Amino acid sequence: MARALGCGVRARVLIRPKAGILDPQGVAVERALPALGFAGVGNVHIGRLVELDVENPDQLPEMCEKLLANPLVEDYEVEHLDGSG
């Protein structure tokens, strides 16, 4: 994997609609799957995935709050991939 940075970690930010807010894309997929013969599917939600190399992973929460997610309507979760790089 190409690395732009000499050090730091690769991180993954998962962004999803907050529970209780209508997610029409999720609803559409939830309806489409049974139509294709996949029974027993529920609670489908569709969000965004941001992967990035960061030198200072401590800044990730602030990056999420300010730009990557809209905390009014989205929840986010930060995963550190493969430890330090």
Partner 1 sequence: MKFGVLQFPGSCDEIDALQAARRVGDAELIWHGDRDLKGADAIVVPGGFSYGDYLRAGAIARFSPAMGSVIAFANDGGLVLGICNGFQVLCEAHLLPGALLGNANLRFTFRQVELEVLYAGGSFFASSQIGERLSIPAKHAWGRYYADPQTLSAMDRAGQLVLRYAPGQNFNGSVHDIAGVCNERGNVFGLMPHPEHAVDVLTGGSADGLKIFESMRLAAEGARA
Dihedrals phi, psi of 38, to nearest 5 degrees: -90, 100
- Near partner 1 by CB under 8 A: residue from 5, 25, 34, 56: 25
**Residue 64 and residue 47: Cα distance in Å, rounded?**
14
By CB under 8 A, residue 70 contacts partner 1: yes
59 binds partner 1 (CB under 8 A): no
Query: CB-wise, 57 or 74, nearer to partner 1?
Result: 74
Residue 76 exposed, middle or buried by CB count within 10 Å (0-12, 13-18, 19+): buried
Residues that bind partner 1 (rule: CB under 8 A) add up to a total of 12
Nearer to partner 1, 9 or 68 (CB): 68
